[in-house]
Amino acid sequence: MIRIALLGVAAVLIAVLFRSGKAEYGTLISLAACCLIFYYGTGMLGAVLDGIGTITSYISVEDEYIKILLKMIGITYASEFAANLCRDAGYGTIAGQIELAGKFAVMASGMPVVMGVVEILIF
């Protein structure tokens, strides 16, 4: 985490240097830093997946529900990451649309769970 924090602070300091002269370089540095931080952050997913595997071995949860949960988490992170990049580049409207599409995607991927609950209630 310290490596990620240092990368972020260094990128901000370098981007600030370019803000007065060549603002587009500052934006590109910011985007590159965001991509690198995202790459380093996804490297930690192995520990999370191992933890989820351990939890599912202790309780009886269908694998389908775990897959849906992971898909929803992935959609949320991907849409937030993309929206923040767009917002940082000055395109707030596009960022808002990405967030809205992400919310719809989360709702759509969660529908099998909702349908399972409805089936339980009906029978």
108-119 pLDDT, tens digit per residue, is 999 988 888 888
Residue 51 reports pLDDT greater than 90: no
Give burial (CB, 10 Å; 0-12/13-18/19+) of 75: buried
Do the Cβ atoms of 79 and 38 come closer than 8 Å? no
Q: pLDDT tens-digit profile of 54-84?
A: 887 888 777 788 888 889 988 998 999 899 8
For the chain, percent of residues with pLDDT exceeding 90: 20
Q: What are phi and psi of 91, to 5 degrees?
A: -110, 70
What is the average per-residue pLDDT within 12-21?
A: 80
Q: Which residues contact 24 (CB under 8 A, 6 or more apart)?
A: none
What is the band of 96 on the pLDDT scale with cuts at 50, 70, 90?
very high
The pLDDT value recorded for residue 106 is 94
pLDDT of residue 97: 94
Alpha carbons 97 and 91: distance in angstroms, whole number = 10
Measured CA to CA, the distance from residue 105 to residue 94 in angstroms comes to 16
Most confidently modeled of 22-31, 39-48, 56-65, 93-102?
93-102
Give the ranges where the chain is alpha helix by DSSP (H).
Answer: 2-19, 23-42, 45-58, 63-88, 92-122
23 has pLDDT over 80: no
